[in-house]
Structure 1
Amino acid sequence: MNWFKWDLNLKIRLIGDSLFNMLFWMYFPFITLFFSDAFGKSIASMLMAVPPLISLLGSLFGGYLSDRWGRRPAMLLGAFLQTFMFAAFALSSSHWLEYIAYIGLGLGGAIYTPGSSAMVADVTPEKDRRMVFATFVTGRNIGAVFGPALGSVFFFQYRNELLWTCTIVTLLYFVAILAWIRETLPPSAKMNRSGSKLPAILKEQVQSYGVIFRDKVFALYICAGILVTIAFMQLDMYLAFYVKEYVPAQTLLAFRGWTFNLSSEQVFGWMLGLNGLLFVLCVMPVTKLFEKWPERNVLIMSSLLFGAGMLMIGLTTHVWLLFVFTVIFTIGELSRSPVTDSFVSKYAPVHARGQYMGAANLQFFVGRFIAPVTIFLSSWFSPLVVFGFIFLVTVLSSILYVQVFRIIPADLYRQQEEKDISLES
């Protein structure tokens, strides 16, 4: 689908999301260090466990809000909350207020995201969704690659200027949503609205998500996602530990007596840089390559390829082999990203698409919560055993994906979508 043929909603949001994500990655990697200096490592480690839980609740609420009142109100609320919290962070003279502002930033993003993803599905033909989601993934990862490098300067030396820039950008994005983004909530969703009193709203939300989590197919899908997220999170957890502890400093390049050497920490930095660069450069080509593949095959291949790449890393400490295996697991990781949103958008009933998008985020929150188990295992077992565990969870994930698509064949959720569209007309 040519970018010039995109709906105006998508064009505005791609630009806004990419700009904001660049700013996000200029402060996010350093926030734990910031609060560690402010509160001490022990307190900071406990404090950092709270924002993901708040964001999980925000994601569920954002999904409910986007289905009940519209994608646009949920996105406006999320963008406004982020604007307000950035300003509070910039004006604050208290570390506790800064911590509350940081929680609020995560909450605003969590409320915004399900409606934003649902809107992509609302305005994009089913056959084009993978490529559109892949374009959004590319925009996000441009920020993830360049943001930390810029943030290492601006966050520590010009923090207030950075925070005010974030405030202005999110405010302008809020205005753009208000002025130019149109509502895309399907008519079938509007018919499901109930009373507006708080007890009725809370009861309706609990009932709605109760139905979703009792959906056997979706529950299996979330469990598979939790397992593979545990593996994906090792890029920032056990992989960092392994490279630092077991990979020696070594020569990367040598020519006529000239050598270019990397320390253990630099080897890990290059692996992360390669991972990020591949995400930016290869999400679109890889998505195009697998465009005709069913979601089933892509999800299974992604899990196994990532797990195999990580397992092979545990077999070597040679820097060039580490780079090769990084390419392997990165292809597995990036091939999955556009497909997950595409699958949920097709599987979910149109009237509950936002809530399904919000509920799908549960796999990431739970996976991140469980992921540190590898650090615990590393104190008892060898690296090969730990990498074997990482490979095992990806194999189990692929088995669950097989079961998901055994219960619901590929053509079945297309029939579900056609049924919902007929209801709208």
Structure 2
Amino acid sequence: MYWLKWDLNLKIRLIGDSLFNMLFWMYFPFMTLYFSGVFGKSVASMLMAVPPLVGIFANLLGGFLSDRYGRRPPMLAGYLIQSLMFGLFAMSSNHWLDYFAYIGIGLGGSIFSPASSAMVADVTAEKDRRLVFATFVTGRNIGAVFGPALGSIFFIHHRSELLWTCTVVTLMYFLIILWKIRETLPHRPQALSKPGTISQLLKEQFTNYGVIFKDKAFAIYIAAGILVTVAFMQLDMYLATYVKEYVPPQSLLAFAHWTYSLSSTDIFGWMLGINGLLFVVGVLPVTKLFEHTSDRNVFIISSVLFGLGIFLIGLTTHVWLLFLFIIIMTIGEISRSPVTESFVSKYAPVHARGQYMGASNLQYSLGRFLAPMTVLLSSWLAPTFVFGIIFLCTLLSAALYIVLFRILPQNQVNKQENA
């Protein structure tokens, strides 16, 4: 499916999402450092645990609203909230107000996310969804690669200007969605579209999500996703600790009397760079490589490759082997990225697609919440055992995917749009 043949919704969204993610990565990596500087490390660590929890409920709310009222309302609400919060952050001279604005920015993004994913699925044929989602992943990761480098300049030295830029960009994107993006919500039974009181809507939301979480197959999918997310998050957690504490400075290249050496911190920076670069240039080729591979096999291959790569890292301190194993890890990571949203879009009933997208995001929120346990375990266990536990998480994830696809009704996986 060529980009020029895409639905206008997708073209606008790809450009807008990619631009916003560039700005996102220019401020997000520095927020913990910023709040640690103004509140202290202990208080900041507790404060930074709140936004992911807020995000869990906002994701569920965004998914519910996107199925109840359409995709555009939560998308518009999400970007309007973000624009207002960026403006508040830019004008603020109070650190607690800064923190409130930061939570508000995350809240808006979480409300937007499930409706956004559901809209992509609405306007894309099932056979093209992996490639389309892969393209969106590529756009997001361009920002993840270049954003922090730009943020080290703009957030540190020109924070107000950066925040005002984010305010203007999100407001413009809000207006473009309002004027140019059409509604894509599939036809719903009229009874599901009737307005209700706030209490009725809350009751309906809890009832709907209660049904989703009682879905055995989907619960297994979430559990598998939590385990593999715990492993994915180690790139920024235990892996950083391991490289800095156990990997010695060493020569990367040597020729005659000339050598190019890297410190432990440099080696970790190179590993992050390889991971980010492969995400940008590798998502589309890897997606094409696995184009005719079943979702089941992609999930299993992804879990095993990532787990194997990170376990092998724990067996060596040689810089070139570390680079090789980070490549294996990253191939495992990027192979599943487009498949997750594609799978949910196929599995979910059409009238509940947004809610399933919102519920699916729980695997990332809960996985991020549990991931720091490895750093705690490293106080008592040797690196080989910690990496072994991470590998075990990915193997258990692969096992759960095998169970999932054994109990999954075939007709539900291949659900037609009129289901």
TM-score (norm 1): 0.97
Task: State the SS of the aligned residue for 1:93.
Answer: coil
Matched with 2:232 is 232
Please give the per-residue CA displacement for 1:254-304, whole angstroms capped at 9, x wherever unaligned. Answer: 111111110000100000000000000000000000010010000000000
Matched with 2:418 is 422
**Distance apart, 1:195 and its partner CA:** 3.8
**Distance apart, 1:190 and its partner CA:** 5.7
**Distance apart, 1:107 and its partner CA:** 0.4
Q: Does the Cα contact within 8 Å between 1:307 and 1:394 map onto a contact in 2? A: yes
Matched with 2:56 is 56
Matched with 1:86 is 86
- The runs of 5 or more residues in structure 1 that have no matched partner are none
Task: State the SS of the aligned residue for 2:93.
Answer: coil
**Distance apart, 1:422 and its partner CA:** 3.2
Structure 2 CA distance for aligned equivalents of residues 203 and 121 of structure 1: 27
Correspondences of 1:6-405 after superposition (within 5 Å) = 6-188=6-188, 191-405=191-405
Structure 2 CA distance for aligned equivalents of residues 51 and 21 of structure 1: 18
Task: State the SS of the aligned residue for 1:364.
Answer: helix
Structure 1 CA distance for aligned equivalents of residues 409 and 256 of structure 2: 60
1:248 counterpart letter in structure 2: P
Q: Does the Cα contact within 8 Å between 1:67 and 1:189 map onto a contact in 2? A: no
**Distance apart, 1:330 and its partner CA:** 0.2
**Distance apart, 1:374 and its partner CA:** 0.5
Label 1:189 to 1:156 Cα distance change in 2 as closer, same or farther (>3 A): farther
Q: Does the Cα contact within 8 Å between 1:68 and 1:189 map onto a contact in 2? A: no
Q: Does the Cα contact within 8 Å between 1:294 and 1:410 map onto a contact in 2? A: no
Label 1:91 to 1:190 Cα distance change in 2 as closer, same or farther (>3 A): farther
Structure 1 CA distance for aligned equivalents of residues 273 and 317 of structure 2: 18
Structure 1 CA distance for aligned equivalents of residues 418 and 316 of structure 2: 56
Task: State the SS of the aligned residue for 1:251.
Answer: strand
Identity over aligned residues, as a percent?
Answer: 68
Matched with 1:408 is 408
2:217 counterpart letter in structure 1: V
Task: State the SS of the aligned residue for 1:192.
Answer: helix
Label 1:283 to 1:190 Cα distance change in 2 as closer, same or farther (>3 A): farther
**Distance apart, 1:410 and its partner CA:** 4.7
Aligned length: 419
**Distance apart, 1:168 and its partner CA:** 0.6
TM-score (norm 2): 0.99
1:422 counterpart letter in structure 2: N
Please give the per-residue CA displacement for 1:65-122, whole angstroms capped at 9, x wherever unaligned. Answer: 0000000011000010000000000000000000000000000000000000000000
Q: Does the Cα contact within 8 Å between 1:80 and 1:171 map onto a contact in 2? A: yes
**Distance apart, 1:196 and its partner CA:** 1.9
Structure 2 CA distance for aligned equivalents of residues 66 and 355 of structure 1: 8
Task: State the SS of the aligned residue for 2:244.
Answer: helix
1:71 counterpart letter in structure 2: R
- The runs of 5 or more residues in structure 2 that have no matched partner are none
Label 1:189 to 1:37 Cα distance change in 2 as closer, same or farther (>3 A): farther
Task: State the SS of the aligned residue for 1:261.
Answer: strand
Structure 1 CA distance for aligned equivalents of residues 304 and 219 of structure 2: 21
Task: State the SS of the aligned residue for 1:380.
Answer: coil
Label 1:65 to 1:230 Cα distance change in 2 as closer, same or farther (>3 A): same
1:269 counterpart letter in structure 2: G
Structure 1 CA distance for aligned equivalents of residues 410 and 10 of structure 2: 27
Label 1:387 to 1:56 Cα distance change in 2 as closer, same or farther (>3 A): same
Q: Does the Cα contact within 8 Å between 1:189 and 1:352 map onto a contact in 2? A: no
**Distance apart, 1:413 and its partner CA:** 1.6
Structure 1 CA distance for aligned equivalents of residues 390 and 176 of structure 2: 43
**Distance apart, 1:192 and its partner CA:** 1.7
2:237 counterpart letter in structure 1: M
2:316 counterpart letter in structure 1: T
Structure 1 CA distance for aligned equivalents of residues 190 and 340 of structure 2: 26
Task: State the SS of the aligned residue for 2:252.
Answer: strand
Pairwise CA RMSD: 0.9
Structure 1 CA distance for aligned equivalents of residues 31 and 410 of structure 2: 42
**Distance apart, 1:193 and its partner CA:** 2.7
2:264 counterpart letter in structure 1: S
1:329 counterpart letter in structure 2: M
Please give the per-residue CA displacement for 1:236-270, whole angstroms capped at 9, x wherever unaligned. Answer: 00000000000000000111111111000010000
**Distance apart, 1:224 and its partner CA:** 0.2
Q: Does the Cα contact within 8 Å between 2:350 and 2:418 map onto a contact in 1? A: no
Structure 1 CA distance for aligned equivalents of residues 412 and 352 of structure 2: 17
Structure 2 CA distance for aligned equivalents of residues 140 and 163 of structure 1: 19
Please give the per-residue CA displacement for 1:24-67, whole angstroms capped at 9, x wherever unaligned. Answer: 00000000000000100000000000000001110000000000
Structure 1 CA distance for aligned equivalents of residues 217 and 70 of structure 2: 26
**Distance apart, 1:188 and its partner CA:** 2.4
Structure 1 CA distance for aligned equivalents of residues 38 and 178 of structure 2: 37
